Chains A and B, each alone.
Chain A
Amino acid sequence: MSAMAYDGLAMAGRQLRRVRNSPGLAVLTQLMPVNMLLFFGYVFGSALAMPGREYRSFLVPGLLVATAAGGLMTGMFQAAQDTHRGVTDRFRTMPVSRAATVLGQAVADLVVTAAGTVPLLLTGLAVGWRIEGSAAGAAGAVGLLLLFRFACTCAGILLGLLTRSEEAAGQLGASSFVLPLLSNAYIPTDGLPGWLRTLAEWNPVSAVTTALRDLFGNAPVPEGAAWPVAHPVAGSLVWSLALIALFLPLAVSRYARAE
């Protein structure tokens, strides 16, 4: 086994043990989207043009992607916390692969995310959401979701390494909930004024959400949307891979750099 893979597994193991040692935080994190599904699904759903069950089916993929976008916050907070508390510096004085530390955190996060979507999916099933497409399509949807989560976590780790302070990361992270608000995660974008619609549709959250709706068979691809939403699977792949190609090397080199 290569040194990087070995270090990466050890680092991922560390992150998973942390979650196991503090299960309360993980539970709270997972409760959030479940609550949003119930509130949005029944409160907003009653006021929207879409009938209730149809809106909740529309909403579940949106919440899955909004939760995946939370990787930005989680990645940032963990990296800032480790830096602030001196854990990062201890690793940096050790013969540990620099890439492994970042990758280990991001991979462990994927495992936690995958497990964490189960309560949301179960609640979705209880309120009328169904996989209406093929099994292969559903598997593809999960793959796209995790790839997007990975991209968001990489970006978050870089921001966390740059901010260093837990408090700053907390503040910045709390404001990241705006990201899914400016997308089609909770509402269709075709009712928005032109410039706002363009902005929302170029938000990567919109491409991935549309891809999930399409692959789960919950809603058709909207007409006349911007390219990433009109071609949601390709759009999601391009967005996620571009974000990873940008932020993963930056996070690794920021981590490796002695000041």
Chain B
Amino acid sequence: MTTTYAVLSEGLEKRFGAVRALRGLDLAVAEGTVCGLLGPNGAGKTTAVRLLTTLLRPDGGSARIAGHDLVREAAAVRRRIGVTGQYASVDGDLTGRENLRLFARLHRVRGPAARADALLERFGLTEAADRKAAAYSGGMRRRLDLAASLVRQPDVLFLDEPTTGLDPASRARVWQAVRELKADGTTVLLTTQYLEEADRLADDIALVDRGRVAHTGSPAALKALIGSHVEAVVADAGALPRAAAVLDRLTGREPAFDRERNAVGAVTTDPTLTLPRLVRELDAAGVPLLDAGIRPPTLDDVFLRLTGQSAGRADSTDSTDSTDSGERAA
């Protein structure tokens, strides 16, 4: 059986004046899966989505969305996609209900009024349905945005940072909606700055760095590649060597010290290293332990490891050395 790709791009290029926003973006999203486009601000995520949703014209390369050529069959592409992003918004001067009815009509949905009501109900907006969208809270607005891109079930849904700035309850609601869509067979391409979000939703993650896909893989594979950060904080600096010896033995990696905080840390990819075991081992070695933790990798860790630069400083000067001290084998 061959895999069918809902989104398939090869060498997509986009320049804005002297800035090369995309420098050969290759992306393959299998039908019915959720792909997380993960990267720092300025990496090219939004440009990629704007290109793939026909809003921008590529300067080079090609892409097919749901089997249709992005440039030559743009109209067919638009019939198969849904888009939610900070730039593709609803009309604030219309009520939630009016917005959804308008979009349903434009999508030729049978019974636009009933469809609007069903979506309002599904996204918890029934009570606010007749208020102007401009008066909605950030979370409600985002839910209305999402509902608007679902008036007719799209084959491919593009979500550009769907939960940035949302409170946890609204975020959970958006996540739930994405899972339901996937269960219905919709392919989802979502961009995010949060590793946790990609981890929870995505079957595959594409790391975007400086206009290219730097790495692709499942969230588990990505995290296994990076490892978790194990840390112990001790009561006095004299105990640091003992703690470091324990960490060295447990992780097989050379620990790094943070002497200001009386802390020592190391990276592990061992799933059997749990917090109770870590605490027991440190205690057994007589370490006056104040705090201990096993922290999953952050986006910053992932970027540092895979692209050699921090997620927060993606636009800074290039760094070719992608190995940090904590990763050298002991």
Contact = CB atoms under 8 A, between A and B. Distances in A.
Interface residues of B, number: 30
Contacts of A85: 89, 91-92
B88 A10 contact: no
20 contacts: A7-B106, A10-B106, A13-B102, A17-B93, A17-B98, A18-B91, A18-B93, A21-B132, A22-B93, A85-B89, A87-B90, A89-B55, A89-B87, A90-B88, A91-B106, A93-B81, A93-B88, A96-B106, A258-B55, A258-B57
Contact of A93 (B83, B92, B105): B83
Contact of B107 (A82, A87, A95): A95
A92 B103 contact: no
A178 interface: no
Interface in B31-87: 53-57, 74-75, 78-79, 81, 83, 85-87
B97 to A, nearest CB: 10
Interface in A140-173: none
Contacts of B103: 94
B78 A93 contact: yes
B119 interface: no
B148 interface: yes
Interface of B: 53-57, 74-75, 78-79, 81, 83, 85-95, 98, 102-103, 105-107, 132, 148
Given A86-B86, A86-B88, A87-B90, A92 B95 contact: no
A107 B85 CA distance: 29
A157 B198 CA distance: 40
Interface residues of A, number: 23
Residue among A10, A13, A86, A94 facing the most chain B CB atoms (10 A cut-off) = A94
Given A85-B89, A85-B92, A89-B55, 11 more contacts: A10-B102, A21-B132, A87-B89, A89-B89, A90-B89, A93-B53, A93-B81, A258-B56, A258-B74, A259-B56, A259-B57
A161 to B, nearest CB: 14
A130 interface: no
A83 to B, nearest CB: 10
B59 to A, nearest CB: 10
Interface of A: 6-7, 10, 13-14, 17-18, 21-22, 82, 85-87, 89-96, 258-259
A199 B161 CA distance: 53
A95 B77 CA distance: 8
A83 B92 CA distance: 13
Nearest to A3: B108
B107 A258 contact: no
Given A10-B102, A14-B102, A21-B94, A90 B74 contact: no
B90 A21 contact: no
A18 B74 CA distance: 29
Contacts of A18: 91, 93-94
A90 B89 CA distance: 6
A75 to B, nearest CB: 16
Nearest to B16: A259
Residue among A10, A22, A87, A90 facing the most chain B CB atoms (10 A cut-off) = A90
A258 B103 CA distance: 21
Residue among B53, B88, B132 facing the most chain A CB atoms (10 A cut-off) = B88
